[in-house]
Amino acid sequence: MFEDRQYAAKLAISLMDLTSLNDDDNNSEIEMLCQQATTFAGNTAAVCIYPEFISLAKQLLAKDNIAVATVVNFPSGNGQIDMVVSQTNQAIEYGADEIDLVLPYIALTQGNMDTPKAMVEQVKAACGDEVLLKVIIESGVLKETDLIRKASEVAINGGADFIKTSTGKVDINATLPAATTMLEVISVLNPKIGFKAAGGVRTLDDAISYMELAANMLGSGYLSKETFRFGASGLLVNLLSELGFSAQANETDY
């Protein structure tokens, strides 16, 4: 499907949430990230940063049609619902276009479906129709296919616009088997729900594997930024190298 590697690389760039979620991030690094998001091969879909940098990123990307995403209940997923809703409201006030919410996945492993569903519902209510909600299920911790399926169902039934594999802060992040399970749930419940592979996608070959999987399961039209994303940072360097360009990027893994 992707014999033309340059086409595949350009497509992957357009589907990327270029990410920096490091404890020592500062304004200069976020400015560099925003510069990197506009490449010679086209713009990324979004940048994903901590809430305190939203206003800066919005200012820097105002003319570039690049969304600004941020994270809440991150990375542990252990926050109280009212606190997470407050985080969401504040991020939206700062100007966030997209919210990446960590599902209370530990509660789900303990058989508690009510708290995760309630959190997604209330955060989606705060987002409304204007702010995209991506729900991180932390598939590498859930591990079991049944738990990954349940987490995906809870997220979608709660109102998620996207389901996302990982925070990038655990030992196992995106995997093709987990992606397969998540995409299967999407295909059954609502093929308009988006999917985001985050963590461990470092090369064009990695990206092609996920794009082919999604296209085979949901059609080639699914590969648009409205329904498919990569959460990554170092991946951009590899993709630009494939295209004959060079760039610097934060070599973190989200």
Give the tens place of pLDDT for each residue, 36-70: 999 999 999 999 999 999 999 999 999 999 999 99
Domains of the chain: 5-242 (3.20.20.70)
Whether 196 is catalytic is yes
Whether 23 is catalytic is no
Out of 17, 124, 196, 206, the active site residue is 196
Out of 134, 164, 206, 253, the active site residue is 164
Whether 4 is catalytic is no
Out of 100, 161, 206, 253, the active site residue is 100
pLDDT computed for residue 205 by the predictor? 98
User: Which tokens sit at 156?
Assistant: 């979608």
Q: What is the pTM of this model?
A: 0.96
Per-residue pLDDT tens for 186-219?
999 999 999 999 999 999 999 999 999 999 999 9
What residue type is 162 in one-letter code? F
Q: What is the DSSP string of 133-152?
A: EEEE--HHHH-SHHHHHHHH
Are the C-beta atoms of 12 and 207 separated by less than 8 Å?
A: yes
Residue 251 has pLDDT above 70, yes or no: no
| Greatest distance between any 2 Cα atoms in the chain | 50
Question: What average pLDDT does the segment 168-180 reach?
Answer: 96
Are the C-beta atoms of 203 and 172 separated by less than 8 Å?
A: no
Residue 159 has pLDDT above 70, yes or no: yes
